[in-house]
């Protein structure tokens, strides 16, 4: 990436220099600079933040890129935020029969990973959904949405966090997320609407959308939600069973909890916008319950 940028710049610099003396700042070049470029020009193109997020290190297995991601119950995801605490979506308490979590693995069926039983669930006091969540069809509703969709699960026994395959994600307390920010998401949800959970963990890169684009759906309220969408060429989206999984920022903190998807009642179409509960909105409540 870096060397490519340098070559491109050099080619441009040569072209500009050849165009005549009107271009200042670019030192006159006596020879084309395809192989050796002036230090000055190279510096001008250096990326000021060359840090690669651990989430983006594709040489690592998904569970090491997302060491805070867990399977919550049998049909949801969640995020480790402390050795005894998992953050998930409140609506998962309506559907998931399980009272346990599976952490530190990228496969839910091969016996790997660490299981912990849940001692107690805490639903956000402002959580609400309509009755249509259970049967959107009979209400003739296409779009389902939840408000304040946060759940905290306290574990019976603490997880031994090693920071590599088991880690707690810092909790985001910044409400301001500009459109365009790259974020990531990992879970075990279905590939297609109505399918069962996938045993293999999958991850996707998403882009946060500005509030104004999220409000394309009237159910959106920036107070407790943020939205993101898949990037080309895959235009990934979330699907049934990805609910509760964390939206992870470059710094590794959890900024959202997967709550609902555009046209949720019918499909998980590529490119569909995913709506997350905005973690910063529940910051005080999380602190109050967990002390974290």
Ligand X SMILES: *[C@@H]1O[C@H](CO)[C@@H](O)[C@H](O)[C@H]1NC(C)=O
Which residues form the catalytic set? Answer: 91, 149, 243
Distance CA 187, CA 199 (A): 10
Binding of residue 98 to ligand X (CB under 6 A): no
* Least distance between ligand X and beta carbon 116 (Å): 19
Peptide bond into 30 cis (omega under 30): no
- CB 226, min distance to ligand X, A: 7
Residue of 32, 98, 170, 222 that binds ligand X (CB under 6 A):
222
Q: How many helices (H) and strands (E) does the chain have?
A: 7, 12
User: Which is closer to ligand X, CB of 67 or CB of 82?
Assistant: 67
> Torsions phi, psi of 70, nearest 5?
-135, 160
- Residues 175-194, one symbol each (x = binds ligand X by CB under 6 A, - = not), give xxxx----------------
- Check: CB of residue 126 under 8 Å from CB of residue 147: yes
Residue that is written with structure tokens 């200042």 in the block: 24
DSSP letter for each residue of 127-165: -B--GGGT-HHHHT-S----BS--EEEEESS-----SSS
String of contacts with ligand X for each residue 201-220, x by CB under 6 A? ---------xx---------
Helix H or strand E encompassing 82: strand 76-82
Confirm if 238 and 165 have CB atoms less than 8 A apart: no
CB of 96 to ligand X, least distance (A): 24
Q: Which stretch binds ligand X (CB under 6 A): 56-64, 114-122, 153-161, 259-267?
A: 56-64
Of the candidate residues 75, 96, 106, 229, the single one contacting ligand X (CB under 6 A): 106
Q: How far is the CB of 282 from ligand X (least distance, A)?
A: 13
Pairing of strands 246-248, 254-261: antiparallel
Q: Interface with ligand X by CB under 6 A: which range of 59-67, 70-78, 149-157, 191-199?
A: 59-67
- What CA–CA distance (Å, rounded) separates 230 from 183? 10
Does 62 contact ligand X by CB under 6 A? Answer: yes
Q: Rank residues 82 and 104 by Cβ distance to ligand X and give the closer one.
A: 104
Binding site for ligand X (CB under 6 A): 61-63, 106, 175-178, 210-211, 222-223
């Amino acid at each position: 990436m870096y060397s490519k940028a340098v070559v491109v710049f050099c080619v441009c610099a040569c072209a500009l220099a050849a165009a005549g003396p009107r271009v200042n700042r670019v030192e006159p070049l006596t020879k084309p600079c395809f192989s050796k470029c002036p230090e000055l020009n190279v510096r001008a193109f250096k990326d000021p933040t060359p840090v690669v997020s651990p989430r983006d290190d594709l040489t690592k297995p998904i569970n090491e890129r997302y060491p805070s991601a867990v399977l919550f119950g049998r049909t949801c995801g969640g995020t480790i935020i402390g050795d005894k605490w998992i953050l998930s979506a409140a609506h998962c308490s309506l559907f998931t029969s399980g009272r346990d979590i599976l952490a530190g693995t990228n496969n839910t069926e091969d016996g790997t990973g660490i299981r912990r039983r849940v001692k107690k669930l805490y639903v956000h006091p402002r959580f609400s959904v309509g009755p249509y969540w259970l049967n959107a069809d009979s209400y003739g509703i296409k779009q389902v949405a939840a408000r304040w969709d946060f759940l905290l699960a306290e574990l019976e026994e603490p997880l031994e966090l090693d920071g590599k395959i088991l880690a707690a994600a810092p909790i985001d307390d910044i409400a301001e997320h500009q459109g365009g920010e790259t974020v990531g998401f990992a879970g075990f949800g279905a590939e297609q609407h109505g399918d069962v959970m996938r045993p293999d963990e999958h991850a996707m890169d998403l882009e946060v959308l500005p509030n104004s684009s999220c409000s394309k759906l009237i159910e959106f309220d920036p107070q407790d939600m943020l939205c993101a969408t898949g990037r080309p060429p895959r235009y990934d989206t979330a699907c049934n069973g990805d609910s509760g999984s964390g939206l992870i920022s470059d710094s590794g903190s959890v900024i959202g909890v997967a709550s609902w998807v555009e046209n949720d009642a019918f499909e998980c179409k590529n490119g569909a916008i995913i709506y997350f509960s905005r973690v910063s909105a529940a910051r005080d409540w999380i602190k109050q319950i967990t002390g974290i």
